[in-house]
Amino acid sequence: MSIEIPPNESLPAPEPAPVLHARIGARIRNYFLTGLVLVGPLFVTAYLTWAFITWVDGLVRPLIPPNFRPESYLPFNVPGLGLIIAFVTLTLLGFLTANLVGRTLLEFGEKILHRMPVIRPIYRTMKQIFETVFSTSGSTFRKVGLVEFPAPGMWSLVFLSQPPSEEVAERLPSEEHVSVFLPCTPNPTTGFFFYLPRKDIVDLDIKVEDAMTLLISAGMIQPNSNPQKRMAALAETARAAQLARTSLAKEPVE
């Protein structure tokens, strides 16, 4: 069955596509994402800093006598007072430990701790970790490498640590071995520790901080990437999308 159209009548013209609304929505979205990229890191950094200061204040404030607390004389609390007191206290303890009297007292306290069966291994382990991490002359976690793990053709980031001790090296094969730590993603504080032949490690010329960022972001932030270049690329992508929509809007509708 066919429908005849009178000669004086024509088909209605198609309605124009809502290009203007789509273009405005895309601009708002790009502006919002750009603002989020700029403000998000600042907000998270400020929040974590404030949380750390509040945590330290909560630990130190109960140790201060009420008469010496600023809030006893002021109508508001002074944030960061506990952090300042902790910093001054630790610095003073380090200064006292550097002289003969301080070293004598420290050795006497360590002898007491070493006589306690349960506390002795915990204290010894924690002391070795802190001395290694905060040592200015140590080489722990100063290099980053790649190892073929967990399967052939799959590579993982590792942090190179100290060489194995003589007792461990004597029981390993004759080739040179290195202590490595393979962190997990997105929590690099957990992972696997093992000894690996030095020839099986591919050295990387990147910083440990950049490798940590790569692991935490699950590869979204690559090492040696410039934030300004990323922002410029984001703006260029938005500009190209806007030009493409404008060209589509100018094309005649058939």
Do the domain assignments include residue 5?
A: no
Edge-first strand order for the sheet with 202-204 is 191-197, 177-183, 155-160, 143-148, 202-204
Q: What does the alpha-carbon distance between residue 123 and residue 131 come to, in Å, rounded to a whole number?
A: 12
Rounded Cα distance, 47 and 45, in Å: 5
Q: Which domain does 178 fall in, by range?
A: 139-217
Q: Which has more pLDDT, 216 or 224?
A: 216
Can you tell me the distance from the alpha carbon of 140 to that of 92, in angstroms, rounded to the nearest whole number?
27
Tell me if 57 is assigned to some domain: no
249 versus 102: the higher-pLDDT residue is: 102
Calculate what percentage of the chain has a pLDDT beyond 70. 74
Express each pLDDT in 98-127 by its tens digit: 777 777 877 888 888 888 887 888 888 777
**Residue range 122-150: average pLDDT?**
72
Residue 200 domain flag: yes
Are 128 and 163 spatial neighbours (Cβ–Cβ below 8 Å)? no
- At 148, which CATH number? 2.30.30
Taking residues 232-244, report their average pLDDT.
60
For residue 21, pLDDT over 80 is answered with no
- Domain presence at residue 164: yes
The whole-number pLDDT of residue 237 equals 62
Q: How many domains does the chain have?
A: 1
228: nearest Cα among 40, 37, 31, 43? 37
Q: Which residues of 89-120 are buried (b: 16+ CB within 10 A; e: fewer)?
A: eeeeeeeeeeeeeeeeeeeeeeeeeeeeeeee
Q: Is 25 within a domain?
A: no
Instruction: Say if residue 232's pLDDT is above 60.
Output: no
Residue 59: its pLDDT value, please?
86
Asked whether residue 88 is domain-assigned, the answer is no
First to last CA, the chain: 27
Least confident stretch, 45-59, 65-79, 168-182: 65-79
- E strands, the chain, where? 143-148, 155-160, 177-183, 191-197, 202-204
Long-range contacts of 10-19, Cβ-Cβ distance < 8 Å, separation of 24 or more: 14/253, 16/253, 17/249, 17/253, 19/245, 19/248, 19/249
> Which pairs count as long-range contacts for 243-251, CB under 8 Å and 24+ apart, including other chains?
245/19, 245/22, 245/23, 245/26, 246/23, 248/19, 249/17, 249/19, 249/20, 249/23
> What pLDDT score does 136 carry?
53
Q: What does the pLDDT read at residue 17?
A: 52
Q: Is residue 150 in a domain?
A: yes
